[in-house]
Amino acid sequence: MAKEVERYSKATRYLHWMHAISFSILLLTGLILFVPALGFLAEDSWTRILHRIAAVLFVVAPMIYVPLNMKRSGRGILSAFKWGKEDIRWLLAAPRYYFLCDEEAMPPQGHMNAGQKMWWLIALVFGSLFVVTGGMMWFAKDTASPGLLQWAVIIHDVSFIVTMIMFFVHIYMSAVHPLTRPLKGGSWDSMFCNGKMSADFAKAHYAKWYEEVSENKDSG
C-alpha cells in the first residue's frame, strides 16, 4: 500500500501559489487603502500600483490555468455546487473536530469536504465581484455614473471583508489546526509542496476519495 497519494497536479499547485501570493498582496494593500489610520502608508501611489499589479496576476492566473485544465477545473466547480447529506454531516461534525480535536467525528468525504466547498463558493462568487467592481473602479471611474461607482466601491469592500475573514479561516483550518498542520503530511504538503498527501491523512479526512484513488490504481 502506498504511503502517499497524489492529490494535486503541478499546474494546480502553481495556480494556488499564484493566487495565495497575489491575494496576500491584495489583502495587505487593500487594508492600507481601506483603513484610514493606515493612510500614511499609501503615499506616492505605490500602494495602488502594487494593488493593481497583484489584481492582474490574480485574474490572469486562472485565465491561463482553466483552458489548459478544463476537465479538472470543471470538476472542481461542479463539486463546489454539489451538496449532499455527507456535507451536512460534515458541518454538524465540524465543531467536534476543530474545537475538541475529535478526529473520529468526521464522516467519510470525497475529494472536497463541505468546508472546502464553502471556500470555493466564496472564492468564485466574491472573486468574480472583486474583478467586476475592481475593473469598474480602475477603468470606468471617468465614464460610469457616481451612483454606479459608489455601489461598486461598497460591493468591493464587502467582498473584501468576507473574503479576508474566510481566507484566514481557510489558512487556520488547512495549515494551522493541530489535526491538519503540515507535520501530519496533509493539506499543506499536497497543495504547496509535492502535491502528495499521506495515505493515513487521506483515509482519515477523505476516505471516499482515497478509496476511489486506490481502486483506480488497483485496476490499472
Q: What would the pLDDT profile of 116-173 be if each residue is shown by its tens digit?
A: 999 999 999 999 999 999 999 999 988 999 999 999 999 999 998 999 999 999 888 8
- Residue 90 C-alpha cell reads as 460534515
Question: What are the C-alpha distances in Å from 65 to residues 58, 60, 62, 71, 207?
Answer: 12, 9, 5, 11, 28
Q: Does residue 20 form part of some domain?
A: yes
User: Does residue 122 form part of some domain?
Assistant: yes
For residue 28, tell me if it sits in a domain: yes
DSSP 52-117: HHHHHHHHHHHHHHHHHTHHHHHHHHHHHH---HHHHHHHHHHHHHHHH--TTSSPP--SS-HHHH
Grid cell, residue 211, equals 478509496
Its pTM stands at: 0.84
CATH code, 119:
1.20.950.20
Q: Record the cell numbers describing residue 135, joined without a space.
A: 475593473
1 domain-assigned: no
- Other Cβ atoms closer than 10 A to 85: 8
User: 487594508: which residue's cell?
Assistant: 31
Contact 139, 216 (CB under 8 A): no
Tell me the pLDDT tens digit for each residue of 195-207.
Answer: 888 888 888 888 9
Does the structure show a pLDDT above 60 at 26? yes
Other Cβ atoms less than 10 A from the Cβ of 60: the count is 12
Q: For 6-21, what is the mean pLDDT?
A: 91
Amino acid at 42: A
Set of cell numbers at residue 59 = 485574474
Q: Is residue 2 part of a domain?
A: no
pLDDT at 217 > cutoff 80: no
What was the pLDDT predicted at 166? Answer: 92
Instruction: Count structural domains, the chain.
Output: 1
Q: Is the dihedral of CA 37, 42, 48, 54 positive or negative?
A: negative
Distance of alpha carbon 163 from alpha carbon 157, whole angstroms? 10
| Structural domain harbouring 207 | 7-219
Q: Rounded distance, CA 63 to CA 155, Å?
A: 23
- What number is the average pLDDT over the span 68-74? 93
- Confirm if 163 and 123 have CB atoms less than 8 A apart: yes
At 215, which helix (H) or strand (E)? helix 207-219
For residue 44, pLDDT beyond 80: no
Q: At what angle do helices 114-139 and 70-81 cross, to 10 degrees?
A: 110
> Is the per-residue pLDDT at 11 higher than 70?
yes
Band of pLDDT at residue 5, cut at 50, 70 and 90: confident
Cell of 176: 494551522
Alpha-carbon gap, residue 152 to 133, rounded angstroms: 5
